[in-house]
Amino acid sequence: MVTVKIKDGTPQGSASLCVTCRYAHIVRGFSASEQQVRCQGVWPSQLMHFPVSQCSSYDDSRLPSKRDMERIAWILLTKKAGRSIGFVTSEQFQEIEGDDAEIIPATALDAQQPPQKE
């Protein structure tokens, strides 16, 4: 038997993208058929009446968001042109920047910024 593949044909399977989307609000009942999916990735939010196979607003909730990545990122600064950027100890940083340099822990940065809704 010969298998024929058709590009962009009917997708196989019925798992909706909404199940793993960051913007989906999913309400399930006791029965397998009792499920409501509301997409909050568009304005106004819309009730989805069918399983979604492709979506231009899809954002995978299993991966870290842009905000999460920014929170864990290292901030590297340089004041002088040509100076290399890299990791140094706090003592080396004080020596390079001078005694008035301040080292702010990442947890302090989170406390200063008000939480943002994604």
Residue that finishes a domain, picked among 25, 47, 63: 63
Q: To which residue do tokens 């990735």 refer?
A: 41
The 10 Å CB-count burial string (b at 16+, else e) for 20-45 is ebebbeeeeeeeeeeeebebebeeee
Residue that finishes a domain, picked among 63, 84, 103: 63
Model confidence pLDDT, tens digit, residues 26-36: 898 898 788 88
pTM of the model: 0.48
CATH code, domain carrying 26: 2.20.70
In terms of domains, do 50 and 80 share one? no
Q: Is residue 36 part of a domain?
A: yes
Model confidence pLDDT, tens digit, residues 77-109: 666 666 666 677 777 777 777 766 666 666 655
Quick check: 103 and 93 in contact, CB under 8 A? yes
In terms of domains, do 57 and 73 share one? no
Indicate whether 40 pLDDT > 80.
Answer: yes
Q: Which helix (H) or strand (E) holds 70?
A: helix 66-72
Query: Domain range holding 40?
Result: 12-63
In terms of domains, do 51 and 83 share one? no
